[in-house]
With several copies, the nearest count.
Chain A
Amino acid sequence: MVQMTYVEAIKSAIQEEMRADDSVFMVGQDIRGAIYPHSKGLVEEFGEDRIVDTPMSEFGMFGTAFGAAMTGEYRPIVDFMFAACSFCAGETLMVQLGQQYFLHGSQTPVPMVILGACGTGKRLANDHSYIPRAEILHRPGLKYVFPSTPADAKGLMASAIRDNNPVFFLYHYDLLMDKGEVPEGQYYIPLGETEVKREGTDITVLANGLMYKHAMEVAEKLEGEINVEVLDPRSFEPFDLDTLLASLEKTNHLVIVDEDHARCGFAAEVMAQVFEKGFDLLDAPIERVCIENMPIPGGYMEPTVVPTPEKVEAAIRRVLA
């Protein structure tokens, strides 16, 4: 184990995989100069042939990765800088990417990682702060992970690179400098394992990313009064429902915190799945704490529309009331 930051952990996974496998390369805008810090120093180690800067041509940039992946000889990472920029690749990302393998007879895998930073906190409004999530989950054929801790960051990135499918690896601006223990060398977290990050008996809170931190903060605060179990999906697709159901067997109460708009979001999907598979486990309706169904404003009003520890606590109290 070593101490490192979340962003160092992301980079460390990329480095380990690039050292181990020549077919991994990275393509994006201004990644050599590390406009976002996860690529800092990579070009010095791996050279300009493997850390590739492109023009502001998101279709071409995305296509560099998508096409190269299909040839079967490369495992690209395409870096969209801020995650919502991935929408700039339009239907090639939203439609083609997920359908390519399955529709064409499951013959040509598309091993690639779609990387982007996002999250509220910088007050830059919707474009920069928005976390693409439910739109991606809704599109079949795309995997999706989001790390909450440095160890998750390393293990999920390494698994994403090794996966033979398109995997979205998005991360949160606000966690960049968070420190934690991270296993040395190659380290993999299998995609599709919800982690019990904190044991508890009274209520389950499903939360990830910055929301995971909020959930932990609230859990610590309520310690003694309410015994909160905190689960982190880490991988949203594939999603491990079983660990959640096992937790609900114990707690019978659920709050879902999601840094995404509520409508047709991941929280709604989990509620639906619990409806379908765990209806009898619940002693009270589930509450979801999500971003309001409005474009995320910047300035000082972000906290008004995004989940905060206060809102999480209030939801916990309502569910247990």
Chain B
Amino acid sequence: MGLSKKLMTQLFTNLVRAYHFDELFARRLTRGELIGFYHPAAGHYAPGVAAGTVLEKEDYMWPHHRAHGVPHMLSKGCDIKYFLAEHTGKETGCCSGRTSWHWSYPEFGIFGMTGFIGGGFSQMVGYGWAAQKNGRKQVAMSCTGDGSFNNGRAHESMLMASNWKLPIIFLCENNGWAIHSRIEDMHPTEDIASLAPGLNIPAAIVDGQDVFACAEALQEAVKRARKGDGPTLIEAKTVRWREHDIGTPDLDGYRQRTKEELEALHDRDPLKIATQQVLETKLLTQAQIDKIHEDALAECDACEKFADESAIAEPTVEELRASVYAD
């Protein structure tokens, strides 16, 4: 395996953190302690964790909306308490409580998001362009779902990245679904990666349930990008154990997803797989693993405490008017 022990430990730790944060966000949404909606990871943790972990702080990133980007952001080093505060409408939120669910961590190369899927592909070209020109060997990581590759923005973004050999990694987190729609009905080939040759982009397909496999492929792609060899498309095959967003029926078209299908998806639990790997390779002991879980839970608690104790964001209209434009 081409991953250092340090990186593997980080990946494992971030995976555990992503898992616990996903539980936290899902629980809070269900209890009415989170504003808006929540699109749970529910099995779909590893690609985002890998993407965030292999990057440097100053690299650019577009996190995926799945799990509201938390796996990606926490792995990149962002403190999730600001995002949770945002998601609960607090003054301390990463967008000053103005969105309920948008991220913004400019120091980490994460500038915001949009509710329009595919919207990130467009600005990704600009991140890549900036990264290429500024000479600091930054890269830009685009994390989006399988469904987003059916959008024309994906085509334009990959095409321009390829033309200009921009340092962009296109990570397709393919969980096989877009809301109620099976990828088989929405995308004409088996793999999203099949788009890459037509755009002269190298591609790889990896097991999205294996965080180490994801990281290896992504690390390779990041290396290529930093060397100036251009973009890569990485397709990580992952799963979605639950409904698209909490509370929405979990349908296959217009019929309930079957129990059998859902159960089968649990065969490959990214946390179990990673745990087995770190134990087998003796990277970590059970005691160390337990400690990682404990720390993650403590971090979750601290974030909740921070968010819950922060004041509600209720600026005056004058304050808001004064912040529409930058000086």
Residues 65-109 of chain B, each 1 if its beta carbon lies under 8 Å from chain A, else 0: 000000000000000000000100100011111111110101001
CB within 8 Å of B: which of A70-104? Answer: 70-74, 76, 82, 84-85, 87-89, 91-92, 95-96, 100-104
Does B124 lie at the interface of the complex (its beta carbon under 8 Å from any beta carbon of A)?
Answer: yes
Kindly identify which residue among B104, B131, B178 contacts A108, using a CB–CB cutoff of 8 Å.
B104
- Asked whether B125 lies within 8 Å of A64 as measured between CB atoms, the reply is yes
| B97 neighbours in A (Cβ, 8 Å) | 297, 299-301
Interface check A54, CB cutoff 8 A: yes
B324 and A141: CB pair below 8 A? yes
- Residues of A near B313 (CB, < 8 A) are 299-301
Evaluate contact between B98 and A56: CB separation under 8 angstroms.
no
Q: Would you call A124 and B101 a contact (CB within 8 A)?
A: yes
Within 8 A of A (CB), among B90-137: 93-102, 104, 106, 109, 111-112, 114-119, 121-131, 133-134
Which of B146-154, B203-211, B225-233, B276-284 is near enough to bind chain A?
Answer: B146-154
Q: CB within 8 A of B119: which of A73, A96, A164? A: A96
CB neighbours of B181 from chain A (8 A): 29-30, 53, 55
Q: Whole-angstrom distance from the CB of A173 to the nearest CB of chain B? A: 12
**Is A314 in the interface zone, CB < 8 Å from B?**
no
Most buried by A among B99, B127, B150: B99
Given known contacts A100-B112, A292-B321, is B99 in contact with A297 (CB within 8 Å)?
yes
A236 vs chain B, min Cβ distance (A): 14
Residue of A nearest to B150 (CB): A55
Number of residues from B at the complex interface, CB < 8 A: 77
Q: Are A304 and B124 in contact (CB under 8 A)?
A: no
Q: What residue in chain A is nearest B116 (Cβ atoms)?
A: A91
A123: Cβ under 8 A from any B Cβ: yes
Verify A298–B98 contact, CB threshold 8 A: yes
Contact present for A105 and B98 (CB under 8 Å): yes
Q: Is A32 an interface residue (CB 8 A)?
A: yes
A102-B323, A127-B114, A305-B320 as given contacts; A92 in contact with B123, CB under 8 Å: yes
* A124 and chain B: residue at smallest CB distance: B36
In whole Å, how far is B254's beta carbon from the nearest beta carbon of chain A? 4
- Is B24 an interface residue, CB under 8 A from the partner? no
Expressed in whole angstroms, the minimum distance between the Cβ of A7 and any Cβ of chain B is: 16
| B130 & A294 in contact (Cβ 8 Å cutoff) | no
Which one of B35, B99, B125 lies within 8 Å of A60 (CB-CB)? Answer: B125
Known contacts A67-B130, A297-B320; is-contact A56 B148 (Cβ 8 Å): yes
0 or 1 for each of B220-239: is its CB under 8 Å from A? (1 = yes): 00000000000000000000
Contact B96 A57 (CB under 8 A): no
Question: Is B180 an interface position by the 8 A CB rule?
Answer: yes
B118 x A104 contact (CB < 8 A):
no
Give the chain A neighbours of B314 by CB distance below 8 A: 300-301, 304
Question: Which residues of the partner chain A approach B251 to less than 8 Å between Cβ atoms?
Answer: 33
- Which B residues are in CB contact (< 8 Å) with A140? 324
B116 with A88: CB separation less than 8 A: yes
Structural contact, A299 and B35, CB atoms closer than 8 A: yes
Known: A101-B326, A103-B99, A305-B317. 6 other contacts (CB 8 A): A56-B147, A56-B148, A63-B124, A74-B133, A100-B111, A141-B325
**B residues near A, CB below 8 A?**
35-37, 60, 86, 89, 93-102, 104, 106, 109, 111-112, 114-119, 121-131, 133-134, 147-148, 150-153, 155-157, 159-160, 163, 178-181, 185-187, 248-249, 251, 253-254, 312-317, 320-321, 323-327
Closest 3 CB pairs of A and B: A67-B126, A63-B122, A127-B115
19 contacts between A and B (CB under 8 A): A30-B180, A63-B122, A64-B129, A71-B60, A71-B109, A89-B122, A91-B119, A102-B98, A103-B112, A104-B104, A107-B104, A111-B326, A123-B36, A127-B116, A164-B327, A293-B324, A298-B89, A299-B97, A304-B317
